Amino acid sequence: MAALADDVKDACVLNNPPKQQGTLPKLSLVFKTAASRSSAEQPRSTTPPPSDQLHIASQLTTASAILWDQRYTTRPPPTRLRPTHAGTLSVPVRTDSSISIRELSDPSNPNTIPVVPVMDNRRTPSSFQQLEKLGEGTYATVFKGRNRQTGELVALKEIHLDSEEGTPSTAIREISLMKELKHENIVLLHDVIHTENKLMLVFEYMDRDLKRYMDSKGDRGALDPATIKSFMYQLLRGIAFCHENRVLHRDLKPQNLLINTSGQLKLADFGLARAFGIPVNTFSNEVVTLWYRAPDVLLGSRTYNTSIDIWSAGCIMAEMYTGRPLFPGTTNEDQLQKIFRLMGTPSEESWRGISQLPEYKPNFPVYATTDLGEILRDVDANGLDLLRSMLRLRPDQRISAQQALEHPWFHDLPLRQEDVARNAHLAQQQQQQHQQQQMGYQMQPTY
């Protein structure tokens, strides 16, 4: 459970999004899911929260996530979520008592905050027919399935629950975040079904992941430039939406990018994703598959930000051009060596503060920077410029997802042109509404 306690130090800020990368605002409401801690030393108010905050709380709490605000509770935060019987979750606390979801949402209890019901009681695992196994991960098995009532194809992610360990923190995280992240480039979570011994996540069905797409459609894994540009634009659009909503994906790789028959790309597998709030948050450095892990994370940084997802996106872009991973390291140290061999070995002069990172070694082999154009000959000048902007060694110098979407490389992409036209139309509508409001104010009689 020690790993769980470390995993759940999420700080999810729910309003006032940051205006630029690296500038993160102050917390307003914080949700925490399962943390083993003693009660706060300083006394807390027992006064119930204002009704408007109760309303916000009830709206934003998602399956397997409890919205918790230190100001308004006299109990310590729950240690974990554990199944009792179908349709409910119990929350063991340090007093060894269990509080059901129904009790937590009891409005007559001034020390609790309303919680959205965990599942839709109208659906059960038997509502879906399992067709074939699509994959198996550390804590879940994914099946292709069919909704027996509608015939719709779905992906069924089954998570078997341990009677002692309870719900895996990765599942809690994924459910909590994906209930809020609704975007055309993020896979849609349809439903969450909870039974006595398993949790089933029902996702929209996508035909294959990017890795399988490259293997089947590519020339020895390499894709054509037009397809790469379309996929990169969609990838960055999904990343930008996550970052705008203060979520780091932290595990971007071809296997976690899903493609449908229409060529639409969607981000998936948010099991390692984290909500972020303020720059001093410290996160685990055991994130992202090794080949797509940013150098600052490899060097042991635990105060990383949105730039780690941008590095991963750059690695994926290069891989789509060659069909091979850009930095296929075998160990943490080997991964750093491969990055430095291509991007050059950083120093305190080029990267201030690098010598203070836990895994930094002053005797790193010194390599000169190699031009990316020498190994990526099929990438045009604008594409190379974007790639260099994403693969900066210093995290504060990497381009943001929103800036990348506006890069000249995408200017001839029909998908971007549609976005620009749609945004212009929305801006025009907003301007017209504003003008109408102003006219309405001017026509009001004065007394």
Query: Residues annotated as binding site for ATP?
Result: 157
Cα dihedral 386, 390, 395, 400, rounded to 10, equals 70
CB 107 within 8 A of CB 93: no
Tell me, letter by letter, the H, E, C secondary structure of 54-65: HHHHHHHCCCCC
Q: Could you say which DSSP state residue 351 is in?
A: S
Residues 201, 264: Cα–Cα separation, whole Å: 21
DSSP H or E stretch at residue 319: helix 307-322
Burial environment of residue 342 by CB neighbours within 10 A (0 to 12, 13 to 18, 19 or more): middle
Which residues are tagged catalytic?
251
Q: State the DSSP code for 252.
A: -
Separation of alpha carbons 385 and 372, rounded Å = 10
Q: Which of 292, 270, 296 is nearest to 283 (CA)?
A: 296
Return the structure tokens found at 79: 């240690």
Angle of CA points 289, 294, 298, to nearest 5°: 80
Smallest CA-to-CA distance from 231 within 211, 216, 250, 205 is with 211
DSSP codes of every residue in 80-140: --EE-STT-EEEE-TTS-EEEHHHHT-TT-TT------SS-TT--GGGEEEEEEEEE-SS-
Q: How far is CA 74 from CA 41, 43, 110, 162, in A?
A: 12, 9, 10, 29
Tell me which long-range contacts 430-438 makes (C-beta under 8 A, separation of at least 24). Answer: none
Q: How far apart are CA 210 and CA 177, in angstroms?
A: 22
Half-sphere exposure of 64 (CA within 13 A, CB side): 29
Question: What six digits make up the tokens of 295?
Answer: 């150098």
Q: Which residues are annotated as a binding site?
A: 157
Nearest one of 199, 189, 192, 125 to 160, comparing CA atoms: 199
Residue 306: both structure tokens together? 């949105």
